[in-house]
């Protein structure tokens, strides 16, 4: 009774609820994956925990082969964990309330606001209902399209299941595949390439962008956010595809020996996948160091806010670039498309980048102590986990029993959001004192 009162006095903050929600689902997932009915092979608790974390955080790093180590039941568990993790347990919670006919309370609205990164409260409920319909429709349409390839190959029931699994995994940017070489055998298949990338790009660009595209037809009515996301995503993707092609065209282990048509499909897919999708149609263990460096950069950026993607986000990167250019040009305000970006947003972006980089750096440092693996592979793995991307040069199952929890921690922080975590640790009242200006030199 006393305890309950105490809990009421100090309610959990939204980020704490978010984090505890994820932890609960991961724990539940771990137990379910350990059930004999879920798996075909012996599985350690750590590996089950790792797999559940990877699924709920929609990362896709794996320590056992998804297609062979798990039964259809186990794979279905994974698919559900991915769906919950991707759309957000929050959205699910709210949708249940909506479907049960209850009115949404203010506290839950604030919760959603944090989770979806929305600044204004109006329209949140409508937004979430809309995104739920959107997600399910996209996944079902994609399942139908993917069946065209996989039903002839695997029969109706298995073909349908494989199609559904990959549709859910793609839309939620989870990167889990039932094939042991991800999508490598379909590297030159236009249907698979197009359906999968369309899914993960529309899942990753952010629901507010999708929502706006569906409801407003004219460019000038869109928010600055939508404009920047669309143009930023387009430019980054073009840059990534071209770079990949140039860097790998002479590498005989990847696209070097392929006909041009396959080279282009390979570059297209590998150009898009690092910003949190995590499927691969070529083997990252065979790629040049330069390609791995480029991929690390793309994995750190990630895709859009309020999406199934992680990373620092495209907008954060662009705001920082705009702020630096504005500073160099002696301007005291940052703007884009004739709209002003407030200083507070710049400082927020700065904080996201600094905290993110700090977390990844500390993790890499710890891994350099605990793991006896090539540094390039370790650095790649850490950025992949933090961006919840799931690409790997192939060392995930070789990580030590300290290395795996470090990577799990990165996936968790990456998905919940480094700023969300930092906020919940550091919140305090602003002071009412004003201080005189101090003299300080930098750089």
User: Which residues inside 153-182 make contact with K ion, applying CB under 5 A?
Assistant: 173, 175
Please identify which residue in 68, 289, 398, 400 interacts with a copy of itself, judged by CB under 8 A: 289
Contacts of 157 (CB under 8 A, 6+ apart): none
278 binds, among K ion, a copy of itself, none (CB under 5 to 8 A by kind): K ion
390 binds, among K ion, a copy of itself, none (CB under 5 to 8 A by kind): K ion
Distance CA 41, CA 362 (A): 34
Closest CA to 308 of 135, 73, 425: 135
- Examine residue 109 and tell whether it contacts a copy of itself (CB under 8 A): no
- Examine residue 173 and tell whether it contacts a copy of itself (CB under 8 A): no
Contacts of 348 (CB under 8 A, 6+ apart): 419
The least CB distance from residue 336 to a copy of itself, in Å, is: 7
Residue entry with tokens 């620092």:
312
- Examine residue 402 and tell whether it contacts a copy of itself (CB under 8 A): no
Coil vs helix vs strand at 340: strand
Neighbours of 306 (CB within 10 A): 21
Please identify which residue in 15, 203, 390, 417 interacts with K ion, judged by CB under 5 A: 390
User: Which residues inside 207-226 make contact with a copy of itself, applying CB under 8 A?
Assistant: 208, 223-225
Neighbours of 213 (CB within 10 A): 14
Alpha-carbon distance values, 395 to 46, 239, 306 (Å): 16, 28, 30
Q: Which helix (H) or strand (E) holds 341?
A: strand 339-341
- Examine residue 278 and tell whether it contacts K ion (CB under 5 A): yes
- Examine residue 426 and tell whether it contacts a copy of itself (CB under 8 A): yes
The least CB distance from residue 304 to a copy of itself, in Å, is: 8
The least CB distance from residue 163 to a copy of itself, in Å, is: 33
Please identify which residue in 30, 117, 147, 267 interacts with a copy of itself, judged by CB under 8 A: 117
Closest CA to 145 of 202, 187, 195: 195
Coil vs helix vs strand at 336: strand
Please identify which residue in 55, 146, 168, 319 interacts with a copy of itself, judged by CB under 8 A: 319
60 binds, among a copy of itself, K ion, none (CB under 5 to 8 A by kind): K ion
- Examine residue 346 and tell whether it contacts a copy of itself (CB under 8 A): yes
Q: Which two tokens stand for residue 385?
A: 């986990």
Residue entry with tokens 């143009």:
231
User: Which residues inside 55-94 make contact with K ion, applying CB under 5 A?
Assistant: 60
380, 296 contact by CB (below 8 A): yes
209, 248 contact by CB (below 8 A): no
198, 173 contact by CB (below 8 A): no
Neighbours of 43 (CB within 10 A): 22
Please identify which residue in 44, 96, 343, 398 interacts with a copy of itself, judged by CB under 8 A: 343
User: Which residues inside 404-433 make contact with K ion, applying CB under 5 A?
Assistant: none
Please identify which residue in 148, 214, 354, 402 interacts with a copy of itself, judged by CB under 8 A: 354
In this complex, which beta carbon is closest to a copy of itself, that of residue 96 or of residue 343?
343
Stretch that binds a copy of itself, among 102-110, 145-153, 360-368, 401-409 (CB under 8 A): 360-368
- Examine residue 376 and tell whether it contacts a copy of itself (CB under 8 A): yes
438 binds, among K ion, a copy of itself, none (CB under 5 to 8 A by kind): a copy of itself
Alpha-carbon distance values, 54 to 5, 65, 124, 240, 373 (Å): 36, 13, 28, 25, 21
- Examine residue 251 and tell whether it contacts a copy of itself (CB under 8 A): no
Stretch that binds a copy of itself, among 66-74, 146-154, 169-177, 416-424 (CB under 8 A): 416-424
In this complex, which beta carbon is closest to K ion, that of residue 89 or of residue 222?
89
Closest CA to 151 of 138, 170, 164: 164
The least CB distance from residue 72 to a copy of itself, in Å, is: 37
Contacts of 308 (CB under 8 A, 6+ apart): 58, 86, 87, 171, 172, 173, 174, 200, 203, 204, 276
Q: What is the DSSP letter of 334?
A: E
Roughly how many angstroms between the first and final C-alpha of the chain, as a whole number?
Answer: 57
Please identify which residue in 324, 394, 401, 402 interacts with a copy of itself, judged by CB under 8 A: 324
Residue entry with tokens 């379910």:
32
- Examine residue 434 and tell whether it contacts a copy of itself (CB under 8 A): yes
- Examine residue 429 and tell whether it contacts a copy of itself (CB under 8 A): yes
The least CB distance from residue 379 to K ion, in Å, is: 18
- Examine residue 113 and tell whether it contacts a copy of itself (CB under 8 A): no
226, 203 contact by CB (below 8 A): no
The residue of the chain with the least Cβ separation from K ion equals 278
The least CB distance from residue 125 to a copy of itself, in Å, is: 18
In this complex, which beta carbon is closest to a copy of itself, that of residue 28 or of residue 213?
213
- Examine residue 340 and tell whether it contacts a copy of itself (CB under 8 A): yes
């Amino acid at each position: 009774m006393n305890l309950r009162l105490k809990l009421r006095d100090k309610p959990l903050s939204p980020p704490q609820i978010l984090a505890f929600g994820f932890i609960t689902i991961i724990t539940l997932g771990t137990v379910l994956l350990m059930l004999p009915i879920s798996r075909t092979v012996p599985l350690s608790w750590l590996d089950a925990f790792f797999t559940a974390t990877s699924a709920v955080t929609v990362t896709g790093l794996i320590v056992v082969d998804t297609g062979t180590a798990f039964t259809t039941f186990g794979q279905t568990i994974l698919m559900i964990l991915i769906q919950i993790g991707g759309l957000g347990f929050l959205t699910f919670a709210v949708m249940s309330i909506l479907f049960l006919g209850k009115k949404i309370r203010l506290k839950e609205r604030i919760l959603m606001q944090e989770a979806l990164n929305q600044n204004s409260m109006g329209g949140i409920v409508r937004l979430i209902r809309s995104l739920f319909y959107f997600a399910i429709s996209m996944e079902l349409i994609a399942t139908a399209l993917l069946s065209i390839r996989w039903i002839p190959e695997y029969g109706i029931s298995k073909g349908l299941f494989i199609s559904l699994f990959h549709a859910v995994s793609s839309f939620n940017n989870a990167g889990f595949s039932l094939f042991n070489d991800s999508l490598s055998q379909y590297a030159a298949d236009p249907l698979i390439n197009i359906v999968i990338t369309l899914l993960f790009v529309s899942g990753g660009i952010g629901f507010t962008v999708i929502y706006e595209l569906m409801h407003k037809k004219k460019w000038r009515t869109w928010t600055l956010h939508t404009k920047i996301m669309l143009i930023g995503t387009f430019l980054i993707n073009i840059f990534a595809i071209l770079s990949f092609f140039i860097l790998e065209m002479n590498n005989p282990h990847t696209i070097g020996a392929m006909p041009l048509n396959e080279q282009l499909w390979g570059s297209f897919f590998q150009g898009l996948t690092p910003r949190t999708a995590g499927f691969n149609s070529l083997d990252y263990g065979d790629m040049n160091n330069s390609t791995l460096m480029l991929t690390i950069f793309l994995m750190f950026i990630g895709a859009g806010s309020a999406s199934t993607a992680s990373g620092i986000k495209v907008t954060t990167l662009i705001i920082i670039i705009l702020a630096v250019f504005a500073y160099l040009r002696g301007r005291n305000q940052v703007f884009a498309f004739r709209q002003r970006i407030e200083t507070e947003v710049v400082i927020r972006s700065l904080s996201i980048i600094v905290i993110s980089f700090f977390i990844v750096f500390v993790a890499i440092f710890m891994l350099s102590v605990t793991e006896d693996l090539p540094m390039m592979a370790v650095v790649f793995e850490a950025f992949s986990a933090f961006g919840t991307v799931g690409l790997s040069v192939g060392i995930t199952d070789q990580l030590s029993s300290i290395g795996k929890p470090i990577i799990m921690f990165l996936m968790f922080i990456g998905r919940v959001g480094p700023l969300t975590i930092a906020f919940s640790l550091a919140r305090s009242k602003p002071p009412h004192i004003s201080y005189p200006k101090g003299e300080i030199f930098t750089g």
